[in-house]
Structure 1
Amino acid sequence: MADDKQKRLETIPQTGFFGHPRGLATLFSIEFWERFSYYGMRAILLFYIYYSTTKGGLGLDKATAASIMSIYGSLVYMSSIIGGWLADRILGSRSTIIFGGLLIAFGHLVLSIPGSVPALYVSMALIILGSGILKPNLSNIVGDLYSKTDYRRDAGFSIFYAGANAGSLLAPLIVGTVGQVYSFHLGFAIAAVGMIIGLIWYILTSRKTLGQAGRYVPNPLTTEEKSKVFIRFGIGAIVIIILLIATIPNGLLTINRFTYVVSGLGVVIPLAYFIVMYTSKKTTQVEKSRLIAYIPLFITAICFWSIQEQGSTIFSQVADSQTKLDLGWLHIQSSWFQSINPLYIVILAPVFAVVWTKLGKRQPSTPVKFSIGVILAGISFLIMVIPFMSGTDHKISPLWLVVSFLFVTLGELFLSPVGASATTKLAPAAFASQTMSVWYLSNASAQAINAQLVKLFNANTEILYFTVIGIVSIVIGIILLFLSKKIHSLMSGVD
């Protein structure tokens, strides 16, 4: 396995993009356009769901809209299991990415056509499946560009992460403005075009820049396994269709009940995945130790993402209805606040990349970085308590949102690119792509939990809401800090 990894590395141009492998530029580009399409859509989707039909929306209530957004985000990351499995067992990462991009583009095109709530669900299904197929495999190929001992690795993931956030930065400003000022559907169409551009660029450049990265299938299905898998998938699809037909028309399966189902899956699926990987005969004793070390990091990541992802739900509501949007001659679109987080990342990610590279072996361990990240996220919520302490009968300054986003973004830079990098290093060899899917499940679990949490937010509970979640996050960070040395020792030589 080590020899195969070395042979693949020899096919990849190791310089050509700011001291990093040339292939990082290819992956940077498709990640930019995929995030442009996804976050452009998300910048206006909440408003599209709860704005009245006279304003071009679907007219659902705010609590339901926020819950749908959380479930949507959860299922996007939950479906990364499918992408990891397809890459590990059938297609390899490179081919899987193309299928994912096509599904995403079709999903945005469905939203671009004026429709109804059912059309929204069809679009969501396509984007959920496409994003799950594409997302983990991009990160997995980034990991393939470097050896596990290459100190450029964390910096490479930070640069890749900057590409993602450059797309996320521009999307709300372009798609958000067009969607809120002219037409939601025109905004969704622009998101579709972005994904198509990224997919074309990836196909044209990947052969020359990525070598054999992502070409291999780590744990291919045997002929006997293929027959069993196709039968099981067929039976599963039939069962799901029958359940939907039996429960939706008579009102047994409502949006509210569906959120509870997904919230439960957000806890059960990661647990099942850890059990399968740990008990597999293909997982060595060293890899089992690393999986044990990964569990507290995973739990911490859930807490962090629960806070970070509320930027597009709770914070969007606050921006839209409780924030001063007129600053002199300038009127701010509420969707623009979704650009604050990626703006900070674009500015600060290169700084973090340089710092980690300069520090080398002297940089904080992965568990310490995680603890700092989740503590900063908790502080970002506590900051939001301050403007609401004087009452809710006035609109707050947009600067409170700006400052809060700064703290959660600093936390994100300590945790997210580092977590993706650590995942590729701690992953059992037989579950390489699937372990990256497990990393995305931390976000899926967080948003599944959020689907219930966001229902508790209103004008009467906002101070308690921000306070409790902020304090819980800080406590989790402090506990992880105390356990960091033990966790690091279980990582068995991985920094």
Structure 2
Amino acid sequence: MDNPASTAGDRFVREAERDRAVQQDRAFLGHPRGLATLFGLEIWERFSYLGFQAILALYFADAIANGGMGFEEGVASSIVAAYGALVYLLSIVGAWIADRIIGTYRTVLFGGIIIAAGHIFMGIPAAFSTWFGLALIVLGTGLLKPNVSTKVGELYSSEDERRDAGFSIYYSGINIGAFLGPIIAGWLGQEIGWHWGFGAAAVGMIAGVIQYVLGSTHLAGNEAAARIRAAFRADRGFWATIGLIAAAVIAAALFTVLAEDGINALVNVISIVSAIVPIVMLVLMARSPKVTKAERANLMPYSLLLIALVAYNLMYFQTGNTLNFMALNRTENSLFGWGYPSTWYISLTAIVEIIMGPVLALLWVKLGKRQPHVAAKVGLGTVFGGAAFLVVALGASVSGEAAMLSAIWLVICYIFLGLGDLVLQTSGMSATTKLAPRAFASQTMAVWFAAMALSQGIQAQIVKFFDYDNAALYFGIQGALVVAYGVFLMAITPWLKKRMTLVG
């Protein structure tokens, strides 16, 4: 009779050997073939998610006679933001499931399948299928989103010099998908029918899942996944996680049966939860006996950087609602007499990042030790985000309340958003991984996602004040406040540099 411990040990050895073979592979541009698998998956996942998000608020606000849901624009914007908050809150849970229950491969696979099912339901022209599809997309994205980048990291040993270049290739896949999604799904949704756009997103996600499964033999992380599954026990943490997932899905599903007042109340609850979660996480860090004095001192600059992340994304996430409505109803969407869908502006951020990403990376390398401190970079990215809204405010002021904006105002706005995303997200992510206390290192991404959820939760309330007649004031106030915070962060960089004991 086989010894169970010996059998498990043999399995771990076999899986470790598989991982080493994967990591030594150089068949894809000098990288493991698994990178091509994850590159393709992320293209299709971003294509499907950003494609459907580009038309979601417009679909909610369109008249029922036109195939829409008939909500007021403010309500539609709030719903989209609330769903975004749920996605990021469930991403915290998705990371925990991968770390403690089934490993990254299965978590990503199940997430992809659930997302694809959600998009299929979104493609069915019925109110119930819309809400049910959204609930599935929230759950599936929460499982997939935090774990795909982890799978990229698993392709390389910690000493592998190809690691950074591999992530650069992977992130180019994100930008390609982010570019194509709004172009294709946006055109189909606005020119043919909303559910055609959602259907395109479904096709993209199905393609992503298929090529992920076909390329699974080239992925690493097998030993870690085997150990996770072997060690799993259904403890209190597991049942708490199941409860959180159920609560999030129920919250998403409640939109199906609630009237407009009930929907607004539910959005408010989601906003409150999104505010509580990051605060609780930071307090737990500050009060934990496992956190050293030096690490505790880092929590202040850590919090200031997270505020910048929240402030910038408060601008960026409105590409799916208020900026989307401005593009649809208050912008001349034509070039030399040729008209184009208003959702196409959303693809501009991806174009900026595809072009400027390598340029920025080269700049930082060239500057070496003379490059700006990470706090200054985060501050600069925040300024770019605020400047994007100031541009729209200026355009609205110059054009007048009833006049249409020239397309150039939105083009400049999206260029600033793309630059801000490029500078802030990369620098901010790097800083938070170094500033987080060691005892909470595995939860660094959870705090990051909590901050993103907070941005969406705040946005769900702010978008209620948007009106075309006060567009200059709406965008101007937000833009000015965010620019001011970015400037403040850059101004106190010398002080932050002294406090950031774990950041060079």
Band of TM-score, shorter chain: 0.7 to 0.9
Paired with 1:168 and 1:250, the residues of 2 have a C-alpha distance of 32
1:38 paired with 2:38, answer no
CA 1:467–1:252: 2 relative to 1, 3 Å = closer
Q: CA deviation at 1:92?
A: 2.4
Deviations 1:8-33 (CA, angstroms, capped at 9, x unpaired): 78962486666666544333221111
Paired with 2:246 and 2:229, the residues of 1 have a C-alpha distance of 27
Corresponding position of 2:482 = 473
TM-score of the aligned structures, taking structure 2 as reference length: 0.86
SS at match of 2:180: helix
Query: Which letter maps to 1:466?
Result: F
CA 1:46–1:408: 2 relative to 1, 3 Å = same
1:202 paired with 2:246, answer no
Query: Which letter maps to 1:92?
Result: G
CA 1:205–1:285: 2 relative to 1, 3 Å = farther
Contact 2:22 2:32 in 1 (8 A): no
Quick one: which of 150, 162, 168 aligns to 2:172? 162
Q: CA deviation at 1:473?
A: 0.7
Q: CA deviation at 1:93?
A: 2.2
- Long gaps (5+) in structure 2: 1-15
TM-score of the aligned structures, taking structure 1 as reference length: 0.87
SS at match of 2:492: helix
Contact 2:385 2:479 in 1 (8 A): yes
1:341-352 pair list within 5 angstroms: 341-352=349-360
- Long gaps (5+) in structure 1: 1-5
CA 1:455–1:238: 2 relative to 1, 3 Å = closer
CA 1:453–1:153: 2 relative to 1, 3 Å = farther
Corresponding position of 2:86 = 75
Paired with 1:318 and 1:246, the residues of 2 have a C-alpha distance of 29
Corresponding position of 1:193 = 203
Corresponding position of 2:190 = 180
CA 1:467–1:18: 2 relative to 1, 3 Å = farther
1:254 paired with 2:278, answer no
Query: Which letter maps to 1:208?
Result: H
**Superposition RMSD in Å:** 3.5
Q: CA deviation at 1:62?
A: 0.8
Corresponding position of 1:3 = none
Q: CA deviation at 1:144?
A: 4.6
Paired with 1:128 and 1:251, the residues of 2 have a C-alpha distance of 21
Paired with 2:125 and 2:408, the residues of 1 have a C-alpha distance of 35
Corresponding position of 2:70 = 59
Deviations 1:315-362 (CA, angstroms, capped at 9, x unpaired): 110110001124444111112122111121122222223333444444
SS at match of 2:75: helix
CA 1:26–1:424: 2 relative to 1, 3 Å = farther
Contact 1:84 1:433 in 2 (8 A): no
Contact 2:100 2:232 in 1 (8 A): no
Deviations 1:105-126 (CA, angstroms, capped at 9, x unpaired): 111011011101x332211111
Query: Which letter maps to 2:124?
Result: I
Paired with 1:73 and 1:246, the residues of 2 have a C-alpha distance of 16
Corresponding position of 2:323 = 315
Contact 1:140 1:424 in 2 (8 A): no
Deviations 1:32-88 (CA, angstroms, capped at 9, x unpaired): 111000011111111211111221111111111111111111211121111111122
1:125 paired with 2:135, answer yes
Contact 1:22 1:210 in 2 (8 A): no
Contact 1:139 1:436 in 2 (8 A): no
Corresponding position of 1:379 = 387
How many residues are treated as equivalent by the alignment?
A: 488
Contact 1:277 1:431 in 2 (8 A): yes
Contact 1:41 1:187 in 2 (8 A): yes
Paired with 2:249 and 2:43, the residues of 1 have a C-alpha distance of 35
Paired with 2:65 and 2:199, the residues of 1 have a C-alpha distance of 21
CA 1:243–1:255: 2 relative to 1, 3 Å = closer
Moved more, 162-171 or 436-445: 436-445
Query: Which letter maps to 2:82?
Result: I
Contact 2:131 2:255 in 1 (8 A): no
CA 1:491–1:331: 2 relative to 1, 3 Å = same
1:338 paired with 2:346, answer yes
CA 1:280–1:22: 2 relative to 1, 3 Å = farther
Query: Which letter maps to 2:359?
Result: V
Query: Which letter maps to 2:73?
Result: K
Greater relative contact order (CA < 8 Å, ≥ 6 in sequence) = 1
Paired with 1:114 and 1:168, the residues of 2 have a C-alpha distance of 25
SS at match of 2:69: coil
Deviations 1:244-292 (CA, angstroms, capped at 9, x unpaired): 9999978697111111111111110111222334545665666555555
Q: CA deviation at 1:151?
A: 8.0
CA 1:422–1:10: 2 relative to 1, 3 Å = farther
CA 1:252–1:245: 2 relative to 1, 3 Å = farther
Paired with 1:10 and 1:421, the residues of 2 have a C-alpha distance of 29
